[in-house]
Structure 1
Amino acid sequence: MHQPLDPRDLDTGSLALFVGFAATDAVRAELASQGFGDLRMSHGYVFQHLIDAQPTISDLAQKLGMTQQGASKAIAELERLGYTERLPDPRDARIRRVAFTRRGREAVTAARQARERLEARLRERFGATAFDAGRALLVDLLDELGGTPAVRRRAVRPPQ
């Protein structure tokens, strides 16, 4: 058995970040077992903008706070992996829009289900009351630190 951390050994931001990394690793391991092992955490920043829209590369670059070249490179990689495709705009065939492929939509569904199973496992392990109180505190911290609007808009950016 491993030795637990003393909560005083880490500041709150680092602790929350490390919990997030560990949760992400658990979800990624489950995704890998389902055939989505080529997905990386950075792909999630792009995926969030494809859930409810089919943006252009320019739109994605602006939302991700990166150059068009960087956004194009990210999409080219996701296309190569089979998660996205570029489709002509229905109103202007010169404009290309980025959309999920069937594999991309399946990956989103698999990730959502993996996160739901992780949440259920943690709720079972720590009890609903303590787990829900911990989540509520994290939401309050996010709000206090100004992160809530970006989460609501699906506009979370990678750390700079």
Structure 2
Amino acid sequence: MSPDELPSLDFPSAVMLLGDVMSRVVLQSLEGTGLRHGHGYLIQRLLVAPATATEVAADLGITQQAVSKAVRELVGLGIVEFVPEPADRRSRPVQLTDKGRQAIEASRATRRAIDRRVRDALGDQDHDHALEALATVIESFGLATAIQHRAVPPPTPDFL
């Protein structure tokens, strides 16, 4: 099918459809880990530093209960582990495990492959222009700072 034969798409629909496909490809690369899309928001936050469920919830703008549930799931999957906090034994920060870091590397490798596929489809110049355009759109929605701090809120509070 040529691009001319595609139905007319508005920008949000095109981005959402591509995002859904790309998410599926990344999740396929993580098959067998038990990870799901929503876990990525918490995992991204833990790349910054270990954190408690309360800290993650505040950073992502969601409930502490939702984060606690996801943390329990990720501990069960061996992706994160609790870190002893000698100064405050009630505090229960979590950090990524080796298995969690391996999952991150697998997803990054898949995203690099997706990026190469897009670059091959568009060519270097159009790829770079498309990325610049998307960065401008991201900024217009006020997401740039959240992305920089790895604190992008999930689509809905119960997504995790």
Question: How does the TM-score come out when normalised to structure 2?
Answer: 0.87
Question: What is the aligned partner in structure 2 of residue 97 from structure 1?
Answer: 93
- Aligned residues: CA RMSD: 1.9
Paired residue secondary structure (1:96)? coil
Match of 1:153 among 140, 146, 149: 149
Structure 2 counterpart of 1:94, one-letter code: R
Question: What is the aligned partner in structure 2 of residue 113 from structure 1?
Answer: 109
Paired residue secondary structure (1:23)? helix
Question: What is the aligned partner in structure 1 of residue 134 from structure 2?
Answer: 138
1:64-108 alpha-carbon deviations (Å, 9 max, x no partner): 222222211110011111101112114333321111111111111
8 Å contact 2:48–2:149 — kept in the other structure? no
Structure 1 counterpart of 2:119, one-letter code: R
1:10-36 alpha-carbon deviations (Å, 9 max, x no partner): 32122212211111111222232xx43
8 Å contact 1:88–1:94 — kept in the other structure? no
- Partner Cα separation in structure 1 for residue 91 and residue 142 of structure 2: 35
Matched length: 155
1:50 aligns with 2:49: no
Question: How does the TM-score come out when normalised to structure 1?
Answer: 0.87
Shift of 1:126: 2.3
Shift of 1:125: 2.6
Structure 2 counterpart of 1:11, one-letter code: D
Paired residue secondary structure (2:89)? coil
Q: CA separation of 1:146/1:64 partners in 2, compared to 1, >3 Å: closer, same or farther?
A: closer
Match of 1:65 among 61, 64, 81: 61
% identical aligned pairs: 37
1:75 aligns with 2:71: yes
Shift of 1:5: 2.4
Paired residue secondary structure (2:27)? helix
Moved more, 150-159 or 42-51: 150-159
Shift of 1:2: 8.4
Structure 1 counterpart of 2:61, one-letter code: G
